[in-house]
Every structure is written in structure tokens, then in C-alpha cells.
């Protein structure tokens, strides 16, 4: 049984209405700042609203029953279509972007990747900069919703461990997640406000603080300056960013349990401990290595090492230093870190901590069984026993993720990119990291110089990575619709 297209079209229409409202709000910002783009934003809002209205009106009178299969189709459709309209304000003057570049920038924003084709950010109008930050922040909300509603039911990479209770595919999706979504939304908003206040108190202007709060909590990484955090020359701001980048990489659903009753062991998600410990160990290792290098020492190295590791691990992508110039070890180190990601159920991308935990459990289980073949030792996640089906889904996800990375990297080779740049671009896009480890696309570079076809492939890779790869592949399996 095929999914009904009408519920997806109607819901997409309402999403586009929200985008049109955002563009209208940016018109008001443009009027307030006098940057001269108010008319452009109004025209773009009208175009988006027109398409949104058509989506809503063509479904009028048709029954609305958003089943699970419909929601899966809607998810894929939205992540590919919405950036085309969110990117409209980025076309033409003053950015001089064509449609493909604007689409790439919008996809990077909505998927919270942070890769950019723009230069001269310091001179761009305030309304354009705020719009880039806003679509990243809104994309973060969409990602959390994806992790709450769709991925657990698709059994993507162990996400079924986080399936909401009392859920059935045949039920309407809205009632069973409304209360949880509201609570998670409050946490997301509270983190954003706290980040804004902290940035402001430690030296950012209110405008910079707002933009960076939007792109820190969603682990997106867009900045209002070409130099990113290098512009501020502030260790204090880097440590503030570290705290909130780590916060954005936490599992938002698990954060709700912290206020519930029970022991700390029951309330703390095991991946949170592994996530914080991994970030701390990697930062310490890299800080020690930096301090052992000739001519480099001091607390600044600890700050830069921690900031850079957390930025890449949480797939935020801010830059405080150009680590590409730190040598081959740094390049390889950050390349490997870009595959880790934050916690499952957060706005971070890449493979994520949970899957590394379960894969490590599988390896350790095989070692124990090789030594003591008759001992039954199930793999546990907290107090729960992980089933074979869940372990298989994790292994499948990791395999498909690596295969997708290899495929994207091979495609980059067709455009003449060298090995480091091609591999780095593939990892940074699929993992929603943003900057790579090659000099041309690293913290001090961007993706502007790539051919249009390569940008479209990388934009698709960002969406595939954000949809956790498997959720897109399932749409091409006929049995999924039965």
C-alpha cells in the first residue's frame, strides 16, 4: 500500500508557510537596520507563501490521516524541498549566489552542517546573516523532531532503543509526541537563551551573540564573520562555546529524565557519560601533543585544543584556529574525530557515540565468547538488554554510512579533487560537520570554488547524513509500504 501523498503535501505547505513567515520577519529586520533588502525578503516571502498556499488549497477537502509511511515520505520530501525556498533570500545581490550556491548554503543551514560558499561575511547585511543563523536554528528543531518521531520507528542504527512508549505505527503521530515535543522545545529554547546571555556577557555584541547562540545550540556553526571565533580573540568566549556546543550534542529526550524520580544510574543516559568522557580525553590528548610541539605551549593551547575537538566532535564546525597548519598528525586526528559525532537524539551528526558504544560491546562480546564459548553474556545499554535485532541495525547503519562515505569521496574524485580534499569533503558533508581537514575547505577555507555538480552531490550527502542514511534507503524498498 503506497503512502498517501496528500497529507505530506499539506504538511509541507504548512512548513513552507513557516519559512515564508520567517522571510517576512527578516523583511522587518531589514527595515529596522536599513540594509535595503526589505523588498527582496517580501518578494521571497510571497513566492514561498504562494507555493505553500497551493499545497494547502489543493488538499482542501481531502481526509488528513498522517500515517507512519506518510510521515516517512514527508520527512524525505521536506529536507530536499524546503532548502530551495529557504535559499531564495540568499540569491542575487548582495551575496551574488546563483541558485545552486544558494541551495547548497540553505541545505548546509537546515541540516546544521555549516559548510559555506559565502565570503565577505563581515560586510553582508544584518538581515542576511540573521536569516542564515535562523534557518540553522530551525533546522535543529527539525532534527530533534526527526529523532523523536521517525527514526526510532524505522529502526535506524539502534534508534529503536529510544522509541516512545505507547506508540503504534497505525496511530496518528501528533498526540503521542505532543507533550514530549513541548518539553524538548522548552529545553532547546532555554539553552539558546542561556547561550545568548553568556555570549553577550563575555564580550559579543547583542547581534553577534544572538546569531552565534542560534548556531551553537543547534551545532550548526554558521558565523557572522569570515574568521569565525578567531575574530573575537577571546578564550572566555571559546569556553562558553565549548559548554553550549556540548549541550547541543546531548540527547534532548534523555535530558527530560534528569528531573524525574529514581537513582542517578536510572536517570543518566549511558551515552552522556561516554560522550563527555570522549570529548575530555580527546581534548587532553591533543592539548598535550600541542604543548610538546616546539614553540607551542601554555593554557591557550588547552583552550584551542578543547574548542577545536568539541567543535568537530559535535559537528558544529566553528573555527578558532586553522588546525590544518598544525601538521599531518592534527589533520589525521581531526579527520577521525569528524566521524564520532555527539549523542543520539541530539542535533549533532556523524555516526554518534551510542553506535560506537554498541559496536565496542559487540567486539568485547566476541572476545569473551572466544575465551569462554559456553558463557552467555548479553550486551546491555544501561539496565536494558540490547536485542540481536538492535545490534544488527547498528552494524548495518555503520556499514552503510561508511559505504556512503566511500561513494561520495569517489564522486569527488571525478571532479579532480585531490585525495585529502575529496575524503575530507565527503566526511564533512555526510557527517554534517562543515569544515574539512583540507586547506581549501578547512576552517579558513570554504566550498565556493567547487564545481556546481560537486556542490549538488555534497548537498545531497548533507541531507542523506542528516536523515541517517537508512531512512532514505527504506523508501526505495517495496515491502516497506505493505
pLDDT for 261 = 62
Give me 19's grid cell: 519559512
Dihedral in degrees, nearest 10, Cα atoms 428, 137, 81, 471: 60
Cα–Cα distance, 54 to 468 (Å, whole number): 30
pLDDT for 476 = 77
Cα–Cα distance, 376 to 368 (Å, whole number): 9
Cα–Cα distance, 234 to 224 (Å, whole number): 16
Q: Is this model's pTM higher than 0.85 or not?
A: yes
Q: How far are the Cα atoms of 17, 44, 339 from residue 49, in angstroms, in the given order?
A: 6, 8, 38
Q: Please, are residues 90 and 48 in contact by the beta-carbon 8 Å criterion?
A: no
The DSSP code for 263 is -
Beta-carbon-side half-sphere exposure of residue 112 (alpha carbons within 13 Å) = 32
pLDDT above 80 for 376: no
Numbers of helices and strands, H then E, in the chain: 19, 2
pLDDT above 70 for 264: no
Strand partners of residue 384: 381
pLDDT tier at 30, thresholds 50, 70, 90: very high
What's the whole-number average pLDDT of the chain? 87
pLDDT above 60 for 170: no
Cα–Cα distance, 210 to 194 (Å, whole number): 11
Cα–Cα distance, 154 to 195 (Å, whole number): 33
pLDDT tier at 58, thresholds 50, 70, 90: confident
Query: Of 149-163, 190-204, 355-369, which one has max mean pLDDT?
Result: 190-204
Cα–Cα distance, 165 to 429 (Å, whole number): 33
pLDDT above 90 for 281: yes
Return the minimum-mean-pLDDT range out of 62-76, 158-172, 195-209, 461-475.
158-172
Cα–Cα distance, 482 to 478 (Å, whole number): 7
Count of beta carbons in the 10 Å neighbourhood of residue 453: 12
Quote the percentage of the chain above a pLDDT of 70.
87
pLDDT tier at 61, thresholds 50, 70, 90: low
CA dihedral (464, 348, 68, 267) positive or negative: positive
Which pLDDT tens digit goes with each residue over 304-350? 999 999 999 999 999 888 888 888 999 999 999 999 999 988 899 99
State the DSSP string of 41-97.
Answer: HHHHHHHHHHHHHHHHHHTTTS-----HHHHHHHHHHHHHHHHHHHTGGGBBTTTTB
Residue with cell string 538581515: 127
Q: List alpha helices for 249-327, DSSP H.
A: 252-255, 264-267, 270-292, 299-313
Mean per-residue pLDDT, 254-260? 72
Return the minimum-mean-pLDDT range out of 58-62, 92-96, 228-232.
58-62
pLDDT for 4 = 61
pLDDT above 70 for 154: no
Give me 413's grid cell: 574524485
pLDDT for 390 = 85
Return the minimum-mean-pLDDT range out of 92-96, 120-124, 293-297.
293-297
Task: Considering only residues 390 and 135, tell me which one the structure prediction assigns the higher pLDDT.
Answer: 135
Amino acid at each position: 500500500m503506497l503512502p498517501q501523498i496528500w497529507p505530506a503535501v499539506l504538511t509541507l505547505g504548512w512548513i513552507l508557510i513557516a519559512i515564508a513567515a520567517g522571510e517576512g520577519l527578516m523583511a522587518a529586520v531589514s527595515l529596522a537596520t536599513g540594509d535595503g533588502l526589505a523588498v527582496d525578503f517580501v518578494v521571497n516571502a510571497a513566492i514561498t507563501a504562494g507555493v505553500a498556499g497551493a499545497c494547502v488549497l489543493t488538499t482542501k477537502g481531502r481526509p488528513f490521516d498522517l500515517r507512519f509511511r506518510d510521515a516517512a515520505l514527508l520527512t524525505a520530501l521536506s529536507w530536499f524541498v524546503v532548502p530551495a525556498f529557504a535559499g531564495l533570500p540568499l540569491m542575487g545581490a548582495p551575496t551574488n549566489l546563483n541558485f545552486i550556491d544558494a541551495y547548497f548554503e540553505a541545505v548546509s543551514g537546515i541540516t546544521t552542517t555549516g559548510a559555506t560558499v559565502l565570503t565577505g561575511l563581515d560586510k553582508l547585511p544584518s538581515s542576511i546573516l540573521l536569516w542564515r543563523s535562523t534557518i540553522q536554528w530551525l533546522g535543529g528543531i527539525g532534527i530533534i523532531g526527526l529523532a523523536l518521531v521517525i527514526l526510532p520507528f524505522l529502526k535506524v542504527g539502534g534508534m529503536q532503543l529510544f522509541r516512545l512508549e505507547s506508540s503504534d505505527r497505525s496511530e496518528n503521530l501528533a498526540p503521542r509526541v505532543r507533550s514530549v515535543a513541548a518539553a524538548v522545545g522548552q529545553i532547546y529554547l532555554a539553552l539558546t537563551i542561556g547561550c545568548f546571555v553568556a555570549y553577550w556577557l563575555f564580550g559579543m555584541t547583542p547581534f553577534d551573540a544572538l546569531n552565534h547562540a542560534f548556531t551553537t545550540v543547534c551545532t550548526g556553526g554558521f558565523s557572522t564573520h569570515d574568521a569565525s571565533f578567531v575574530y573575537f580573540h577571546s578564550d572566555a568566549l571559546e569556553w562558553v562555546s565549548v559548554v553550549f556546543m556540548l549541550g547541543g550534542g546531548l540527547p534532548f529526550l534523555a535530558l527530560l529524565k534528569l528531573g524525574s524520580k529514581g537513582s542517578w544510574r536510572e536517570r543518566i543516559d549511558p551515552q552522556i557519560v561516554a560522550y563527555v568522557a570522549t570529548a575530555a580525553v580527546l581534548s587532553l590528548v591533543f592539548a598535550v601533543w600541542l604543548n610538546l610541539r616546539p614553540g607551542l605551549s601554555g593554557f591557550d593551547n588547552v583552550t584551542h585544543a578543547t574548542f577545536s575537538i568539541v567543535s568537530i566532535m559535535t559537528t558544529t564546525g566553528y573555527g578558532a584556529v586553522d588546525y590544518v597548519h598544525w601538521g599531518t598528525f592534527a589533520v589525521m586526528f581531526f579527520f577521525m574525530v569528524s566521524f564520532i559525532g555527539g549523542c543520539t537524539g541530539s542535533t549533532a551528526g556523524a555516526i554518534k557515540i551510542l553506535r560506537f558504544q554498541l559496536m565496542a560491546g559487540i567486539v568485547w562480546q566476541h572476545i569473551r565468547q572466544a575465551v569462554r564459548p559456553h558463557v552467555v553474556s548479553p550486551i546491555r545499554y544501561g539496565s536494558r538488554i540490547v536485542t540481536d535485532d538492535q545490534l544488527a541495525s547498528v552494524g548495518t547503519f555503520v556499514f552503510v554510512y561508511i559505504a556512503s562515505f566511500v561513494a561520495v569521496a569517489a564522486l569527488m574524485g571525478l571532479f579532480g579533487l585531490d585525495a585529502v580534499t575529496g575524503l575530507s569533503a565527503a566526511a564533512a558533508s555526510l557527517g554534517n560537520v562543515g569544515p574539512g581537514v583540507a586547506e581549501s575547505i578547512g576552517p579558513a577555507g570554504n566550498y565556493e570554488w567547487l564545481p556546481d555538480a560537486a556542490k549538488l552531490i555534497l548537498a545531497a550527502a548533507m541531507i542523506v547524513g542528516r536523515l541517517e542514511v537508512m531512512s532514505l534507503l527504506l523508501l526505495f524498498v517495496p515491502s516497506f509500504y505493505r
